Chains A and B, each alone.
Chain A
Amino acid sequence: MSGGCTDTPVLKQRGQREVFCGLTGIIWLHRKMQDAFFLVVGSRTCAHLLQSAAGVMIFAEPRFGTAILEEKDLAGMADANAELDREVARLLERRPDIRQLFLVGSCPSEVIKLDLARAAQRLSAAHGPAVRVLNYSGSGIETTFTEGEDACLAAMVPALQETQAQELLLVGALPDVVEDQALDLLAQIGIAPVRCLPAKRAALDAAIGPNTRFALTQPFLGETHAALIRRGAQHISAPFPFGAEGTTLWLKDVAAAFGIGPEKVDQVVAAPRARAEKAIAAAAQTLRGKSIFFMPDSQLEIPLARFLTRECGMRALEVGTPYLHADLHGPELDLLAAGPVISEGQDVDLQLDRVRAARPDLTVCGLGLANPLEAEGLSTKWAIELVFTPIHFYEQAGDLAALFARPLRRRALLRGQHPNMLEAAE
């Protein structure tokens, strides 16, 4: 079934987009990079988003904060650059453990054209080499949700050292446990050394060059992909490592780039792959034959629809994504069987009309929409959980399927109890 959804026309609508901005990525990035601090230069709204999106506020002092712009910064009564320098100096004095500081642009800082790139240069000169200061935009006018991580990693690429070494670079912030599993599998296949972007600490940063081959572990890293290619690195195009099939295909494509045949991969992955298939099969009992509708959120939608339809027997009705990056999603669209509507962007009211008309068994959506849909009797899966939970590679494939099965199992357990759905037994 060559082609899959590749030639499916993409539905594009423009209206209200019910999505997070790129600042949200700070919630997981600041835990991944242990010596980094993320300083948003923005408004009270930015600060409020960060603490609300974290859902449960983090009890440890977070390694992020917001330099809140005030009236006098806007009216030109205070030199915003001088104010920023002062706040950064205070912050670094209080947190001497910080080695990387990200100045993160926001909607207001961009609208008033505060030049954070120059500020980063100036502050690097002032606080370097102990502290490296970089900047990127996490604003809603420039980035949608996971594009914040993309912008952050893309900003790190020009600062990486140059090397001629033949190395594999894994790109995308993975939970530590998942990263360790991936490195272990790659080592067994015979690929070494392997570097990660982002690294846990600045001192562990990869070096790159024309002999670097890189593989993306997340489907939303379009800018980082472009920045790495500009540095001469070579991209290994592959489906993403979700599910037993996706992980195997990803490993085989990576292995092939290093001249290692698929037999070697099959031999190494036989046991974990069998475990993953067994775990997926358990969750698939709940998922098989059920319909699913993806609202656009994280750009994980197309790879996950591929996993859920091919490995769990679900039926995709619509797969919405904030952006469809043809280069990165091509291998995924090839695998996804034709049938579902593929949509890019959003008019949330029109899309909700389609959800209500289709009445899917499961709707993947943002936190703002989940309870309202549940109240209408439609089961939902919070999309944000997919970026906060280990879901990549073999050992998490069963957990990934279970994330989608749980709302359906819960609905079945509470049958007859839902206040707006006192449904008769089927």
Chain B
Amino acid sequence: MKLAVWTYEGPPHVGAMRVVTGMRDLHMVLHAPQGDTYADLLFTMIERRNHRPPVSYTTFQARDLGADTAGMFMQSARDAHARFQPQALLVAASCTAELIQDDPGGLAETMGLPVPVIALDLPSYQRKENFGCDEAFLQICRTLARPMARTERVTCNIFGPTALGFRHRDDLAEITGLLSEMGIEVNVAAPMGASPADITRLGAAHFNVLLYPETAESAARWCEKELGQPFTKTIPIGVNATRAFIDEVRALSGSTLPVDDQRLRQPWWAASVDSTYLTGKRVFLFGDGTHVMAAAKVARDEMGFEVCGMGCYNREQARPLRALARDFGLEALITDDYLDVERAIEEAAPEMILGTQMERHIGKRLGIPCAVISAPVHVQDFPARYSPQMGFEGANVLFDTWVHPLVMGLEEHLLTMFREDFEFHDAAGPSHHGGKAHPLPLDQTAAHAAAAEAGSMPAPDALPQAAVPSLDNIVWLGCAERELKKIPFFVRGKARRNTEKFAVEKGLNEISVDTLYEAKAHYAR
């Protein structure tokens, strides 16, 4: 038993729903109690889908438990087939139905439905949403795909995009366009947009492009083994990764066509002088392993940020993420406990978070700007505009999205110079975000000024005698505390942390204004 406040992933049957809902002419019958239909709103509200997910639920209640829940399941399957006429039927159980052990797969098999029936085994008490995606797509491929003659021209399949994925719609479009420039046609993109009939044609492609290991790696591995199709390992997020992806595709396909990068603006935007203020900004990354690993490289190598922490919530990606974190001189945080992540961020005191919707909460609470780089998603993460993360346009999007939450360069300087201006003070936040700035009460600014002017320190004997200095017992003198408050909010956390670390190293029990500035000089870059 584990207490969860917020969860990063839903249950595995929601993952299976993401696959089915992304596809066409496929239907799922889910053995589930009343109430599990809430999952429909994820798709119709968050993603604004204009159709109900192709899922029929048995919605059994307590009074049915003593009766014939297996019969209810079979009735639902018959009704669903008759009404929706799918090319194939997926059957599965949600967490409660798993406990009553009706065996939907076995029941459906006995019914003699005239379409392929694909039974999913989704262990709800062990696994989570990404597993559900990956497993559902694997079973669909295993049931329907067979080796066959390759297309004459070089073609590939694209694997991974699902319903409710973070920017999957636009990544798919961007990568399809990139492949097209290289003279490679997409045979089937799946799950998103594919029908069961399309899945039977998977084997005609020469290789597979895997966009999201979280949702489709097992299928890619199965196709490699059973259909003889190699698959791409590079995730084309960021300029360097996109170029590496192009090289990988060239090696797999023999394509020599040039790729037009005229639309790529990110490198100049990052190099231009206005971006100088981004230098060394400390960022903390958290999300799914794939997006975090890609974003960490972009943050360091393409934006000039300093990565001060990284982690992921999906254990499946723990190993490669730990290895990458070591390269960055960091220890990876692998957890799906929101409170652990919050603690780690508070500890690292970054200037920006690149995270999920959860980290937006954390950022809001701690006053740290945050940009979203990964699922779990919210309605805001489905913009009307074209907004991929992958490919060259994706690199442009990353630049804009990551810079937007920050205080702009010259504004940062002004805040530092006139930090006690009663209207333009740091608590007002970045001025381009439209939050209402509350004027500081005048007596407060006056008090600050007076304290700074006097620079007075309390008498030494008024202070508690601390033992060995450590981060836990160090004391901020009043004047130093006030001076710290004059440092703009977006660097205050770093200043506090560095000063305390400096004081401990120097064996100081208390921090004065002098300590603060000595630490500043010590850490100056």
Contact = CB atoms under 8 A, between A and B. Distances in A.
Interface string A73-111: 110001010011011001100000000000000011011
Interface in B1-18: 1-7, 9-11, 13-14
Interface stretch (B50-58, B140-148, B260-268, B484-492): B50-58
B467 interface: no
Contacts of B13: 45
B336 to A, nearest CB: 10
A156 B323 CA distance: 53
B279 interface: no
A140 B79 CA distance: 22
B83 interface: yes
Nearest to B12: A44
Given A65-B3, A368-B44, A371-B49, A108 B96 contact: yes
A74 B37 contact: no
B99 A141 contact: no
B34 A57 contact: no
Nearest to A87: B3
Contacts of B14: 45, 48
B438 interface: no
Sorting the interface of chain B by its residue count into under 10, 10 to 19, 20 to 34 or 35 or more gives 35 or more
Contacts of B297: none
Given A16-B56, A16-B57, A349-B79, A65 B4 contact: yes
A19 B39 CA distance: 11
A231 to B, nearest CB: 25
B95 A45 contact: yes
Nearest to B358: A57
B443 to A, nearest CB: 30
B37 A16 contact: yes
A66 B3 contact: yes
Q: Which of B1, B6, B357, B361 has the most CB of A within 10 A?
A: B1
Contact of A367 (B34, B45, B76): B45
Nearest to A17: B59
Nearest to A45: B11
B4 A66 contact: yes
A32 to B, nearest CB: 19
B100 interface: yes
Interface in B82-137: 83, 94-96, 99-100, 123-126, 128
B79 A111 contact: no
A48 B50 contact: no
A274 interface: no
Contacts of A74: 99, 125
Contacts of A158: none
B95 A20 contact: no
Contacts of A39: 3
Q: Which of B11, B83, B95 has the most CB of A within 10 A?
A: B95
B151 interface: no
B180 interface: no
Nearest to A70: B125
B61 interface: yes
Q: Which of B9, B10, B44, B45 has the most CB of A within 10 A?
A: B44
B48 interface: yes
A366 B1 contact: no
Interface string B359-370: 001001100000
Given A19-B34, A69-B1, A87-B1, A368 B40 contact: yes
A179 interface: no
Nearest to A46: B95
A371 B96 contact: no
A62 B5 contact: yes
A67 B3 contact: yes
Given A70-B2, A367-B44, 16 more contacts: A17-B59, A19-B35, A21-B36, A23-B35, A44-B95, A45-B94, A47-B4, A47-B6, A49-B35, A65-B5, A69-B125, A70-B126, A71-B123, A87-B1, A87-B2, A369-B52
21 contacts: A17-B59, A43-B125, A45-B10, A45-B13, A49-B35, A51-B7, A52-B10, A57-B6, A57-B357, A57-B378, A59-B364, A70-B126, A74-B99, A87-B1, A140-B34, A142-B61, A366-B41, A368-B40, A372-B44, A372-B50, A375-B51
Interface of B: 1-7, 9-11, 13-14, 33-42, 44-46, 48-52, 56-62, 64-65, 76, 79, 83, 94-96, 99-100, 123-126, 128, 357, 361, 364-365, 378
Interface of A: 15-24, 39, 41, 43-45, 47-49, 51-53, 55-57, 59, 61-62, 65-71, 73-74, 78, 80, 83-84, 86-87, 90-91, 107-108, 110-112, 139-142, 144, 349, 366-372, 374-375, 420
10 nearest A-B residue pairs (beta carbon): A21-B35, A140-B35, A368-B40, A375-B50, A83-B1, A367-B41, A107-B96, A43-B95, A48-B10, A140-B34
